[in-house]
A and B are shown apart, each in its own frame.
Chain A
Amino acid sequence: MQTPVVEGLFEMSGGDGLPHLLISRCGQCGAVAFPARKRCAACCGTSLVVEEAPGEGTVYSWTVIRELGGHRAEFEPYVVAQVDLSAGLRVQGLVDAAPETVAIGQRVRTGLTAVPNAGMDPGVVTYCFVPAGEGTR
């Protein structure tokens, strides 16, 4: 049984076992945002609807976090990327792949992964990105 680490970021109800990121779309100006917002950052409008984001995108940039304050001992490095899912929708998330296989411009899709370094139950999962065309772990 896999439990999302926090409510409201993604849903796993699609029957395909994959996470679907939840974004907001402004009813006034069309601006999209992730995580979903209550008020539009672009026009300050308040009529926003929540919808599912595309499940595939392109790596905009990436890094490997090797240190985090208070975590230097027994720290598990992790890969983080910014991924462009559609026009104006750049999302940050963990990447479940070896650093040497990640590159700017690479096609990725959403998957699920454990939350590194947070001391959580392994059944607690978050969305991540994996190279498109690979199976989920």
Chain B
Amino acid sequence: MRRVAVVGVGMVAFGRHPERTLGELGADAVTEALGDASLGWKDARSMFCGVVGGGMTPGTRVGNELGLTGLPIVNIDNASASGSSAFRAAYMDIASGRVDVSIAAGIGKSGRSLGDLRPPASHGTAEYRANLAGWAQGAMPPAGVFALRSRRRMHDFGCTIEQLAMVAVKNRRHASFNPYAQLRKPLTVEEVLAARMIADPLTVPHCCPVGDGAAAAVLMSEDRARALGYGPLVTIEASVFRTPTLAGDTESQDADTTRLTCMEAYAEAGMGPKEIDLVQVHDAFTVEEIEYCESMGFCEVGEGERMVERGEMTIGGKIPFSTDGGLLSRGHPLGPTGLAQVWETVLQLRGQAGNRQVEGARAGLAHMVGVGGVCVIHILRRG
């Protein structure tokens, strides 16, 4: 396997873009990433596009916008982890020795909202039966699933709703320094508690917004990148993908899968949590950041909420999490989210993150989990 570097990143601000198609959004992000790498679309030898839904071959439409160069384009749907999965696929295409330059893109437009479980009209089909079975067991939107986890955590570890709210407040503050974030207006714990209840005990700010956006990264073999004189160079030290097993020892399958994936990633990178300077995490709901902080080995199980309360996961703290605002405030258009994490990690490691810069950052971890049971972790390092 060859070593791989990230030589360009680009983003379209997350939020609302009703006037632009998925293909146009993706083309803008890819063009920005290529510009960041001082490359052109013709230099790319393959592209992998993370997208959830979006009709047939949405990533291929990104390519059509940019020009018909004949390169292979693969569409990847892995729920929240689609963009991270596309990044891994581009990494593999270069690490294997097949190509020297590959693009990972992610695109997303909010359509039918998450958790819309209305039974479809066609009675008697397998899909209709599956939907009825969902209703029969108490139809659960994503917020409901994490409401159950939040309440149980409050029972098991004495976590308070204020401590959970602090995750939303912290990530909103980080987002206020990120012009590409969807929600940037500062937030207080009192405002989180007083907001509209979605699934007890979770109010709206405990849940990430799902909007429109795109993000992209240009990957290159490290040898070629060094020969071309890129610097400061950011390299990929670990790329690990897992689905769940039943071997978990906590009460959360996502946390268990995260722990196993992270252990593999640390081994692959020859690093441990002490060598990681910042983390981008799948904080679709506040309780997740606390759980995964523990799964990644930054503290003991049951300590995560105290890490947040002590400010240790804030920029300037011991191990900053979600430095760009996270899913909770930078936003989560599904397809591009994992690549927004790469964008943020690369800017941080290059020292280009402006007034949200983590001083002296040398290694960053990016983590996504997705519905159905996928977990993808990458560790990037400033070479």
Given known pairs A42-B246, A60-B152, A66-B197, the reply for A126 and B136 (CB within 8 Å) is yes
A65 in contact (CB, < 8 A): yes
Do the beta carbons of A35 and B133 come within 8 Å of each other? Answer: yes
B95 in contact (CB, < 8 A): no
**Count of inter-chain pairs, beta carbons less than 8 A:** 99
Do the beta carbons of A66 and B148 come within 8 Å of each other? Answer: no
Do the beta carbons of B135 and A65 come within 8 Å of each other? Answer: no
Q: How far is the CA of A60 from the CA of B140 in the complex (A)?
A: 16
Do the beta carbons of B113 and A69 come within 8 Å of each other? Answer: yes
B132 in contact (CB, < 8 A): yes
A132 in contact (CB, < 8 A): no
B118 in contact (CB, < 8 A): yes
- Minimum distance in angstroms from A100 CB to a CB of chain B: 11
- Minimum distance in angstroms from A75 CB to a CB of chain B: 11
User: Contact check: which of B116, B137, B152 meets A93 at CB < 8 Å?
Assistant: B137
B112 in contact (CB, < 8 A): yes
A18 in contact (CB, < 8 A): no
- Minimum distance in angstroms from A70 CB to a CB of chain B: 4
Instruction: Enumerate chain B residues within 8 angstroms of A1, measured Cβ to Cβ.
Output: none
0 or 1 for each of A81-115: is its CB under 8 Å from B? (1 = yes): 11000000000111000010000100000000001
Q: How far is the CA of A127 from the CA of B135 in the complex (A)?
A: 11
Give B167-209 interface residues, CB cut-off 8 Å to A.
197-202
Given known pairs A5-B136, A6-B133, A104-B151, the reply for A70 and B116 (CB within 8 Å) is yes
B55 in contact (CB, < 8 A): no
Q: How far is the CA of A6 from the CA of B61 in the complex (A)?
A: 40
B147 in contact (CB, < 8 A): yes
- Closest-by-CB residue of A relative to B140 is A80
Instruction: Enumerate chain A residues within 8 angstroms of B155, measured Cβ to Cβ.
Output: 61, 104
Do the beta carbons of B136 and A99 come within 8 Å of each other? Answer: no
Q: How far is the CA of A63 from the CA of B203 in the complex (A)?
A: 12
B149 in contact (CB, < 8 A): yes
- Closest-by-CB residue of A relative to B115 is A69
Instruction: Enumerate chain B residues within 8 angstroms of A80, measured Cβ to Cβ.
Output: 138, 140, 144, 148
Give A55-75 interface residues, CB cut-off 8 Å to B.
60-71
Q: Top 7 nearest A-B pairs by Cβ distance?
A: A69-B113, A69-B116, A80-B138, A63-B147, A61-B152, A126-B136, A70-B116
- Given A65-B140, A69-B114, A93-B138, 9 additional A-B pairs, CB 8 A: A5-B132, A5-B136, A35-B133, A61-B148, A61-B149, A68-B116, A69-B116, A92-B137, A115-B136
21 example contacts (A-B, Cβ-Cβ < 8 A) are as follows A9-B137, A35-B137, A60-B152, A61-B149, A63-B202, A64-B197, A64-B199, A65-B138, A65-B199, A67-B199, A68-B141, A69-B113, A69-B115, A70-B112, A70-B113, A80-B140, A82-B148, A93-B137, A94-B138, A115-B136, A126-B136
Q: Which residues of A contact B (CB under 8 A)?
A: 4-9, 31, 35, 41-42, 60-71, 78, 80-82, 92-94, 99, 104, 115, 117-118, 126-127
